[in-house]
Amino acid sequence: MSRTAKIIAHPHAQLGLSGEQVAQRNAAGLTNRFSQASSRSLWEIVRANVLTLFNAIVAGSFILLLVLGQWRDALFGFSAVGNAVIGVVQEYRAKRALDRLAVINTPHARVLRDGTVQDIEVEAVVHEDILVLRVGDQIPADATTIDSESLEIDESLLTGEADPVLKAPVDDVLSGSSVVAGHGLARVTRVGAESFASRLTAEAKRFSLVNSEIRNGLNRVLRWIIWALLPIMLIVVNGQMQAAGGWELAISSGSWRTAVVGAVASIIAMVPLGLVLMTSVAFAVSGVRLARHKVLIQELAAVEVLARVDIICLDKTGTLTEGAIVFDAVHSLATTPETGADEWPGWRESLGWFGADPNANATARCLAEEFTADSALGAVAAIPFSSERKWSAVAFGADTVAAGTWVLGAPELVLNPESPRGSAAATVLDEANTLASAGMRTLVLAHSSEMISTNAAGAAGTAAGAGLPSRLSSTVLLTFREKVRPDAARTLAYFRDQGVGVRIISGDDPQTVAAVAREVGIHVEEGYDARTLPADPDQLADMMEQQLVFGRVTPTQKKDMVRALQRRGHVVAMTGDGVNDALALKHADIGIAMNTAAAATKAVSRLVLLDGRFDRLPSVVAEGRRVIANIERVSVLYLSKTAYAIAMSMIFGALIWGFPFLPRQLSATDGLTIGIPSFFLALMANTRRYRPGFLKRSLWFAVPAGLIVTAGILAVNAYARLVGGFSTEDVHGASVITLSLIALWVLVVVSRPLNLARVGIVLAMYIVLVGMLTIPLPRDFFNLAVPPPALLQLSVITAFVGCLAVEILGRIRARVNARFRGRPV
């Protein structure tokens, strides 16, 4: 519903809509309302993370044990619940961020209706409304100007080009852009979902998760396990029933309960529940650590992705630079006398006036810090700056220190570009071109004794349509530059040292972009004009490999450039702060927004630098490396457990032997050899550089290690069956000892290089194992018994042989890894 903030008369009131016309458009749905819903509802998020075949198997096993009264064997259910909760919470946080995404931030719009100017809600704007545009307004819907007076629109958030655009009647103005000078009227042509800003927002809001190698690898393993579970379950259940005397006897005697518990134990052992949970915990802790450094992680896995990036694409304005123009220097001219600019007294005072002028543009306002305005210096007449003229002028009376007319503007428009070679004007233009080629924005200050007449200036003392005064003499050249972030050069040097390629992509002039690139340490002769980029994806990819700096890039091109690099196998990061960067940030492997970024840009970014410090990125890379290296370390532990669980389930099921563990006993060994130590290992410091293929390396060690554990358990159980006379509790105890000792040595190998903290963790786990077997309370809870001496001795010997085999495997792994890294062993 619209709210009327103020109603005033307007000379063009007849152009506005009537209340009846507005009502008709509202009824037809021609309003500026736009659905903010993201691609998945809360129910869809819950269903995707909870209602899966994987969770169904785990939940079914959990409920079955509870029904059978075996609650102590159902401890694994808490890990499954934790995984589901973390998945739902993480995606829901991303959904909320996307739902809040909005390009239009203005609280109201100003329109002509019923003969008056009214302030209304942005959503209440309808098709063909007449917008009343003034300085500071953000345009709420796409429109076409129908009347303008020096109307200049800042479209940098949408196009990336820093210079405001002068709009004449019948020119298009886009939603999301802002009025920086002049005023005018515009008729709304597109509203709601059809407007430029809404279309951009809709594409940016499409939900997607960051491309995480760790998460992809774990999901791949889980898919393999799910496919393997069903046939293995049949083998295991049949084996347990046959071991209990056959299906008929097991059902009639009630021994099927024990068989079911064994079957559940073997099935749950195959599922690496803790690995997913531990990965989420490691990501979450990294997010908290980085938050202390003013880095907001919008998706947990983004920490890992930045450590894998091999090309980073940077927007210039707002990323490498602070987005503001600053005064650089005054340059004396070769055409001035030896006394320099002082030949024309008052030039400093005139610059002070230009800097303090309320109608000054952003460039002229930079002069205020360097040149002091004289309050006693009153202007006789003034011509305001416009993008069309590209100059402004002021005239002072003969009795002032700055008598005469002063013109400040672009040299090629203030001076005659067709002046003969060797003339004063041509010489000044050559000097200006030399400065501009270095990426500087250059203005000339010129003086004339001819006054701007008050008749030409008009009653208000302005002469918006006036021409330049005659007999202009150049006084000084002034240069301005974009303020480069002080940390940009150092941060880019870090990425170069780490082998990360850099591409600078901007909507500004290629030469200006190249100049900024040189200032931050990227040595290029000139920038590439993106208007000549090929449309063919393969040719574009070739160009992206060859060129480093691009100017005049459109938002769509930015997205295409990111995709072109990805097609060549690169992991791409993209930084930016404007809405024009949103699509590229969305499609990059990781998007990074600055603190000054538009709301839409922040919403689609995975990382936000809250204090705008570019030098925060190296710490994010270091954190990502720690996560990747540590997750790879602990994944070996969990995957080795999955390997021996699958192998034992199939072998014991095929041999029709009873499964050698209760679910609670496997929960205990999991916590002892994997769960507790992996928690600490996942959070420790680790500076190893990223290497692709973590899953392949993990499986290369985990599968053989799991088979070694299986062989040890099989040997102990075969001996117990061959000799006979051992109870089920004795066999379970011997199996737990054998499994724990070999798995703890897997932990030792994986923890290398050992330090005091890691040695302490391993020793603590050995002590816990002894306590679990000897202290009555845990021993009774886990139904453990120390086996008879003969079986205990065999368990220890078997475990020793297994540890020796794991040690040999670990040394082979270390040698292969060292050769891969190209370092001597």
Q: In DSSP terms, which residues pair with 477 in a beta bridge? A: 331, 444
Q: H or E segment at 593?
A: strand 590-594
Query: How many alpha carbons fall within 13 Å on the CB side of residue 757?
Result: 9
Burial class (CB in 10 A: 0-12, 13-18, 19+), 230: exposed
Burial class for 371, CB neighbours closer than 10 Å (0-12, 13-18, 19+)? buried
Give the list of residues 6+ apart from residue 329 with CB closer than 8 angstroms, or none: 478, 479
Active site positions, annotated = 315
Q: CA distances (Å), 643 to each of 270, 278, 455, 633, 811, in order?
A: 7, 18, 93, 16, 20
Q: Tell me how far apart the alpha carbons of residues 238 and 247 are, in angstroms, rounded to a whole number.
A: 8
Alpha-carbon distance 317 to 501, whole Å?
A: 19
Question: Quick check: 352 and 374 in contact, CB under 8 A?
Answer: yes
Helix, strand or coil, per DSSP, at residue 473: strand
Confirm if 272 and 638 have CB atoms less than 8 A apart.
Answer: yes
DSSP-based three-state secondary structure for 479: strand
Is the Cβ–Cβ distance between 148 and 46 less than 8 Å? Answer: no
Amino acid at 273: L
Q: Which amino acid is at 247?
A: W
Locus of tokens 């001035």: 336
Q: Do 127 and 25 meet the contact criterion of CB atoms below 8 Å apart?
A: yes
* CA atoms of 573 and 399, how far apart (whole Å): 61
Q: Residue 800 carries which side chain, given as an amino acid letter?
A: F
Single-letter amino acid, residue 179: V
HEC string of 190-240? ECHHHCHHHHHHHHHCCCCCCCCHHHHHHHHHHHHHHHHHHHHHHHHHHHH
